[in-house]
Amino acid sequence: IHIEDLEVADDPPPQKRSLGPGRYDELFASMKPGQCIKCEPAHTGAIGNALCHWIKHKRKKNLAVKTASHYPACKENLGRVWLLSTKEPS
């Protein structure tokens, strides 16, 4: 970092963190429990984490995520990320 490239400013700090729509929000919203996303095995972790964060952000307590980087029944050698329904606490 070059000191000449830095500038002091009087901008106020943000009051709260702005969360815009996520990259996958539309796809996740279209899913029903029991459905899955087919993806490259290397991407199952990232997509699974994004789906977990989406569930938390949307406060959907009755949903869970399961991932499999290698799905044996897939001829294309793709992984899966499932949106699953969990039982309501009784």
Measured CA to CA, the distance from residue 39 to residue 25 in angstroms comes to 16
- For 69, residues 6+ apart whose C-beta sits below 8 A from its C-beta are 41, 42, 44, 45, 79
Dihedral angle over CA of 73, 79, 85, 89, nearest 10: 110
pTM above 0.95, yes or no: no
Query: Has residue 26 been placed in a domain?
Result: no
pLDDT by residue for the chain (90 residues), tens only, comes to 788 888 888 988 877 776 667 789 999 999 999 999 999 999 999 999 999 999 998 998 899 999 999 888 888 889 999 999 997 655
Query: Has residue 56 been placed in a domain?
Result: yes
| Residue-number span of the structural domain to which 51 is assigned | 38-76
Question: What confidence tens digit (pLDDT) does each residue in 17-33 have?
Answer: 766 677 899 999 999 99
Query: Has residue 43 been placed in a domain?
Result: yes
61 secondary structure, DSSP code = T
**In which residue are the tokens 């949307």 written?**
58
Query: Has residue 2 been placed in a domain?
Result: no
Q: How many independent structural domains does the chain possess?
A: 1
Query: Has residue 24 been placed in a domain?
Result: no
Query: Has residue 28 been placed in a domain?
Result: no
Query: Has residue 23 been placed in a domain?
Result: no
Measured at the CA of 87, the angle between CA 83 and CA 90, to 5 degrees, comes to 160
Query: Has residue 25 been placed in a domain?
Result: no
* Rounded CA Rg of the chain: 19
